[in-house]
Structure 1
């Protein structure tokens, strides 16, 4: 969900865009209808009114909402447990490295301002080969293939 929708500034932004796009001399009732159609298609919000739920439908809706929140909470807890487990393993590995080799431990914790891991990697590209196309290429002659005459 965008920042405009969350803060309620979407309609204000749309109004400003509409004012900027509106021709100054054209009357509202006449003129080119294409601009009005474009404005309507791009900037009008569809009416989204929730029907009023009552009785069993309301109970079903609330049950589904609670189940969804429970599911999200379980996923969040699972993710947090996984991250906690990874952090403990990393911490144990760093402690073991500190005990075994002090030089490697210091090298592992140094943060260089000039070199970062993703930037060191060679990015995959889809550029053509620097040699280009081999125009003299001939397919190998297969001695077992029958010759057509």
Structure 2
């Protein structure tokens, strides 16, 4: 029944059978919550008709789309290159650490249960001060020249 209810016709029919007995009057002062719920859940989303482009407008649209996809591809490739460089630098550092000090190398590989620095750092928030309001504050007097 779930798959059937996804078609607009079946959805309308289901909507009518479910809500016909429980809908409330829409008279002034009446409760319209069930009617609103019915509309939100069961009415199909009204969408504007898509614009069909022809000729030069279609060519312009396709050119813009290709340029956007090219831009996104270049961004993705740049991000992948950056991550690759970071990974290589990390591998070089780990190899150097392995050659230098075996104890530190093994310590770097172990995942600790203890919270590390980035997790301990206080996240900037826009919450009020913990001290509250300073009722004794006096505004500085303006200097008159």
Unaligned runs of 5+ in 2: 139-145
2:22 to 20, 25, 33: 25
Instruction: Give the TM-score of the pair, scaled to structure 2.
Output: 0.60
Checking the alignment, whether the CA contact within 8 Å between 2:98 and 2:105 is kept in structure 1 is: yes
SS in 1 for 2:105: helix
Deviation for aligned residue 1:115: 2.9
Deviation readout 1:11-64 (Å, 9 max, x if unpaired): 84xx5xx95x9473337xxx1273435654686523132111111111111111
1:94 to 2:91 alignment: no
Which contiguous aligned blocks of 4+ residues in structure 1 show a shift greater than 6 angstroms?
A: 132-135
Q: 1:68 to 1:38 in 2, by over 3 A?
A: same
Match of 2:114 in 1: 115
RMSD, aligned CA = 3.8
Deviation for aligned residue 1:123: 4.1
- Larger RCO of the pair (alpha carbons < 8 Å, separation 6+): 2
SS in 2 for 1:45: coil
Q: 1:32 to 1:133 in 2, by over 3 A?
A: closer
Q: Count the aligned residue pairs.
A: 119
Instruction: Give the TM-score of the pair, scaled to structure 1.
Output: 0.59
Unaligned runs of 5+ in 1: 1-8, 140-149
SS in 2 for 1:32: coil
Match of 2:51 in 1: 51
